[in-house]
Structure 1
Amino acid sequence: MTSQPGAEAPSPAAADAIRCSPGLSGWLERHRVALALSSYQTGQVFLVGRFPNGQISFYQRNFERAMGLWHAPGQLYLGSAIQVWRLENVLRPGERANAHFDALFVPRATFVTGGVDLHELAVEASGRMVFAATRFSCLATLSTTHSFRPIFTPEFISRLAGDDRCHLNGLALEGGVARYVTVCGRADTPDGWRAGRRGGGLLIRIADGAVVAEGLSMPHSPRVEGEWVYLLDSGRGYLVRLDPLTGAREDVAFCPGFLRGLSLHGGYALVTVSLPRSFSFEGLPLQQELDRRGVDPRCGLAIINLASGRIEEWIWFEDRIREMFDVVVLPGLACPMAAPAKGPDLAQLVTIEESDMQYPQVVAMA
């Protein structure tokens, strides 16, 4: 390998504008993980890890409208404004970049989708990528010729129109196959879902189109864990646990903000939290819950103990970052970094795959 990037990417805000819980470093060490977070509002991806001395590392790169994240061994996928990025970790076990970083994610491929308002994405066990094409009210996969190929549309959607009818935004895999999607409203008119923000949200099973649960408020990020489906009842501010056989659900934890991203790991839920776009969460139960508890909304990441429902660790952004989108856990990594999506640093970052090729001797000719 040759030509590693230079100094660590600058933080988007002053160091004192990012606050972490005192136990975050220890939590990352005990679980032997790092994290990736996305903020579409600022167009940034953050890789969060820990240096050998225990100090938290924040490594930031810019990707326009950074949204859904997916991690597979050695790979990081990211949905952005008009494309999906695939980043590869080019470091071998034991290698370090810039002395401390045990992973270096480099952009290696992009898939141009156009402006489909791509929200969550995942890679099935077969290798097929699936994503929420929210603007077109469907679950989709990549096409070699076109922007996307639809693979599931709720039964109440009459046509693939780019007008965000039901706000299909989240998806869950089970057994390596896409199993559930969330929508914010049963609507078939442009932006029709907005009328159901308070309780019109649904969890839908892909195999037969059946509504598994209803009465949700702007649900996001379903995830299957054992016999349960966890999801974010975002308009209420709650992480909920749901029985997909009966639709029965219970609140697990309240988080002080609008919830959009969820990752489950080792008995914990990692949830991204956002501030309101205006002064308050007007018209949502979330605002009443914040008022009742006497707490202000936050922006960042909450790490919730699923057994107790307590927020045990956290990261709060307290400057210009107001909205987060997704979070994924990076198992086995301590301190990751990433190369830029463009520019001279990327041009100079050249790595060579190992090969069995025998190079011929070059003989100078007179």
Structure 2
Amino acid sequence: MSTISNPAQGDTSISVSRGLAGWLEANRVGLGFTSYQTGQLFLVGVLPNGSVSFNQQNFTRAMGICRDGPRLWVGSHFQLWRLEEMLRPGEQANGSFDSCLVPRHAFTTGDIDIHEIGILADGSPIFVNTKYSCLATIDQVHSFRPVWRPDFISKLAGEDRCHLNGLAMEDGAPAYVTAVSQTDVLSGWRARRDQGGVIIEVSTGRVVTDQLSMPHSPRLDGDRLYALDSGRGQLIAIDPETGTRDNIAFCPGFMRGLVIHNGFAIVTASKPRDGSFKELALQGEIEKRDGEAWCGVFIINLRHGDIVEWIKLDGAIAELFDVAALPDVRCPMSLGVGTLEIQSTISFDA
């Protein structure tokens, strides 16, 4: 178990399942996840001595995270960050890390509540602009350039009308999104959290399936579509043609953030802000199972729906947002904005 400390936020202890280091090595992957509650990016890997490494850097209100080849995109409070891989193949940082991600570019968007992020075929980012109920991309002059909005949204307005939040990409284009409701009024989704959720096909505007509870994070893996039915605590699989869905696994926390890697689903989960999930079915499911809500990361085998490995956070950090897989990375680290380390770390192409 390790403990991280921030004097302004208090301590958080991190524990992991006994087999996590072995799973990361066997699947040749590192992980990244974000906590918007405390504004942190965590990178997870395995140190040369075989122990699990947690590298932590501050990005205010860190939310969506997206792997893009060697680089990483991170959405924050009012900026979209692009972190570049500084190391050449075979190099190490600080004697242990085979990946060192440096924040080289920041696109200032203003506070538009950036949620999930994808990469278009031309290499530019596309992101869920939740405040304006649309998909958007960066603009060299303005805060954002709108790309798409649901048919039921009548105009672009900074009102978070339906809580558009999740994005699935396919062949460099947005394929599916999730929204908590189909409302077209200021914060209308808040009264529809129980059964108002939908998954929408971007190319047609068609509602693929509905009556979900606060859905998040649609993801395509081959011909299968997965998503999080977060208000019920279920990882689900959806038939994109018929809209029928199956429960894959229950997780004891409010899930946001999903990545599929090597037949495993990796999800982040949060504890409730006020001690209960109130009107959500998730609360009853946890109580029925005589359990407690988790803040952490679950790794689920998609063949049988079992949670095989996990990371658990206890203490000041109680909410996570998104997760990314870092293939072929054993032990990643990043440099924090405004730190002494980033000031003294200089690289150039000779």
TM-score over 0.5 (shorter chain): yes
Task: State the secondary structure of the residue aligned to 2:112.
Answer: coil
Structure 1 CA distance for aligned equivalents of residues 313 and 71 of structure 2: 26
Match among 67, 72, 78 for residue 71 of structure 1: 67
Larger of the two Rg values belongs to structure: 1
Structure 2 CA distance for aligned equivalents of residues 175 and 274 of structure 1: 31
Alignment coverage as a number of residue pairs: 345
Q: Which residue of 2 aligns with 1:231?
A: 227
1:165-176 superposed matches below 5 A: 165-176=161-172
Q: Which residue of 2 aligns with 1:92?
A: 88
- CA deviations on 1:241-274 (whole Å, 9 max, x unpaired) are 0000000000000000100000000010000000
Q: Read off the aligned partner of 2:175 and give its amino acid letter.
A: R
Task: Report deviation, 1:240.
Answer: 0.1
Q: Read off the aligned partner of 2:46 and give its amino acid letter.
A: R
Structure 2 CA distance for aligned equivalents of residues 138 and 15 of structure 1: 37
Taking structure 1 as reference, are residues 332 and 15 closer, same or farther at Cα in structure 2, changes over 3 Å only? farther
Instruction: Verify: 1:346 aligned to 2:342, yes or no.
Output: yes
Q: Which residue of 2 aligns with 1:112?
A: 108
Tell me if structure 2 keeps the 8 A contact 1:105–1:338: yes
TM-score (norm 1): 0.92
Q: Which residue of 2 aligns with 1:22?
A: 18
Task: Report deviation, 1:122.
Answer: 1.0
Taking structure 1 as reference, are residues 342 and 16 closer, same or farther at Cα in structure 2, changes over 3 Å only? closer
Tell me if structure 1 keeps the 8 A contact 2:12–2:316: no
1:242-261 superposed matches below 5 A: 242-261=238-257
Instruction: Verify: 1:32 aligned to 2:28, yes or no.
Output: yes
Q: Identity over aligned residues, as a percent? A: 50
Structure 1 CA distance for aligned equivalents of residues 87 and 329 of structure 2: 11
Any gaps of 5 or more consecutive residues in structure 2? none
Q: Which residue of 2 aligns with 1:278?
A: 274
Moved over 2 A (4+): 10-16
- CA deviations on 1:204-226 (whole Å, 9 max, x unpaired) are 11111111110110000000012
Any gaps of 5 or more consecutive residues in structure 1? 1-9, 355-366
Structure 2 CA distance for aligned equivalents of residues 204 and 12 of structure 1: 41
TM-score (norm 2): 0.96
Task: State the secondary structure of the residue aligned to 2:4.
Answer: coil
Tell me if structure 2 keeps the 8 A contact 1:181–1:206: yes
- CA deviations on 1:71-127 (whole Å, 9 max, x unpaired) are 122101100000100011111111111111111111110101101000001112221
Task: Report deviation, 1:189.
Answer: 0.7
Instruction: Verify: 1:12 aligned to 2:5, yes or no.
Output: yes
- CA deviations on 1:125-172 (whole Å, 9 max, x unpaired) are 221211000011111111111111111111111111111000000100
Task: Report deviation, 1:15.
Answer: 9.1
Tell me if structure 2 keeps the 8 A contact 1:11–1:58: no
